[in-house]
A and B are shown apart, each in its own frame.
Chain A
Amino acid sequence: MYYFDPHIHMVSRTTDDYETLSKMGCVAVSEPAFWAGYDRGSVDGFRDYFEQLTSFEPSRAAQYGIQHYTWLCINAKEAENVELSREVIAMIPEFLNRPGVLGIGEIGLNKNTRNEATIFLEHLDLAMETNEQILIHTPHLEDKHQGTRMILDMLTGDQRINRNRVLVDHVEEHTIRPVLDAGFWAGMTLYPVSKCTPERAADMVEMHGPDHLLVNSAGDWGPSKPTAVPDFLLEMRRRGHAESLIRRVVYDNPIEFFSQSRGFNFQVPE
């Protein structure tokens, strides 16, 4: 079965990973801008990163028949530096019309601070002014529930936002319902340990249905598994779920959501 990984950080993965993903049926990835493992010192550091996301990665992916899409922002962790964040937000429009750019993301909260919320709101302004879709990072572990609720407050408090054009990622059992009930898309992120497993993601599909639901690996430079989406697919199959239901979550849904971006020029594989 062909599938889509809607949240994976390929800049931190090897070319061998592209080959493996391709062999497993991955036909497209979307890569949100994120933290590099260290705080970048200047706006030029981000300009170089956006260059990498919009030119080098798509060509590296294409060698394995994978279509590469991306999202741009300054992530929640570095958003603690408000001055630098504002410089980056002012620079992002230089890249928004490049092919494969799907919108603003992954913006969100990390430790749920005032500075993070300030920069989140300024990213929303940018997305509204430029008519971009939004991809959201929700915090992890003990910060997730509080941070997700704060993010939903900011989104639902903004009358300009079309909720069907917003994807809230890293939902788990205690945050999925408020996200879906409010009319947003929700992404479940699979990790080998400590966060959501393929089994629990399958449980959530069974409990909430496939509507507006995506599944991703969020593979990055930390312990993570870039082939986590096929693990989910296998778990669904082993439980006897219909291929059409599985395909809806791993293929049809991402395409439906991303098709609302002007930078999404998906070529259906033969």
Chain B
Amino acid sequence: MNKQEVLQREFLLVRAKVLEIAACLDRIDRAEGDLPQNHQRELLSEAIGHLLGKTGNRAEQIQLLFSREYSDQWRSEFQL
């Protein structure tokens, strides 16, 4: 499939998903109270930022954003 065909096939699906995200963020805003220093909300904003990037690996970038940090020193830290 070429770009246009892929886009045609996915357009309604992606449109619906973007709307879901928009409505969900509105829901958080509408709810009472304040967000405590909220890492999760910031992560979501950062992830949405990645969607506008021009790289071909947005999914991988977003996965890494939501990942705990890896240290290659873990074995000595665990004394294993």
**Closest chain B residue, CB of each to CB of A157:** B75
Q: How large is the interface on A (under 10, 10 to 19, 20 to 34, 35 or more residues)?
A: 20 to 34
**Closest chain A residue, CB of each to CB of B65:** A174
* Chain A at the B interface: SS class: helix
Taking the nearest CB of chain B, how far is it from the CB of A126, in angstroms?
17
Q: B70 near A114 (CB under 8 angstroms)?
A: no
Residue A149 is within 8 A (CB to CB) of chain B in the complex = yes
Q: Chain B 67-78, CB within 8 Å of chain A: the 1/0 string? A: 111101011001
**Closest chain B residue, CB of each to CB of A175:** B63
Residue A270 is within 8 A (CB to CB) of chain B in the complex = no
Taking the nearest CB of chain B, how far is it from the CB of A83, in angstroms?
18
| Stretch in contact with the other chain, from A50-58, A138-146, A182-190 | A138-146
Q: B80 near A118 (CB under 8 angstroms)?
A: yes
List chain A residues, Cβ under 8 A from B80: 114, 117-118, 121
Q: Chain A 136-160, CB within 8 Å of chain B: the 1/0 string? A: 0000011111100110010000000
Q: B63 near A150 (CB under 8 angstroms)?
A: no
* Chain B at the A interface: SS class: loop
Residue B66 is within 8 A (CB to CB) of chain A in the complex = yes
List chain B residues, Cβ under 8 A from A239: 1
Q: Chain A 164-187, CB within 8 Å of chain B: the 1/0 string? A: 000000001110000000000000
Residue A240 is within 8 A (CB to CB) of chain B in the complex = yes
Chain B: residues with Cβ within 8 Å of the partner, total of 16
Residue A77 is within 8 A (CB to CB) of chain B in the complex = no
Taking the nearest CB of chain B, how far is it from the CB of A140, in angstroms?
11
Assembled-state Cα–Cα distance A144/B75 (Å): 17
Q: B64 near A145 (CB under 8 angstroms)?
A: yes
List chain B residues, Cβ under 8 A from A60: none
Find A174's partner among B1, B67, B69, B78 (CB 8 Å cutoff): B67
List chain B residues, Cβ under 8 A from A200: 59
**Closest chain B residue, CB of each to CB of A239:** B1
List chain A residues, Cβ under 8 A from B75: 153
List chain A residues, Cβ under 8 A from B63: 144-145, 172-174
List chain A residues, Cβ under 8 A from B74: 150, 153
**A-B CB contact pairs (8 Å), 12 listed:** A117-B80, A118-B80, A121-B80, A143-B68, A144-B63, A145-B67, A146-B68, A149-B70, A150-B70, A153-B74, A172-B63, A174-B67
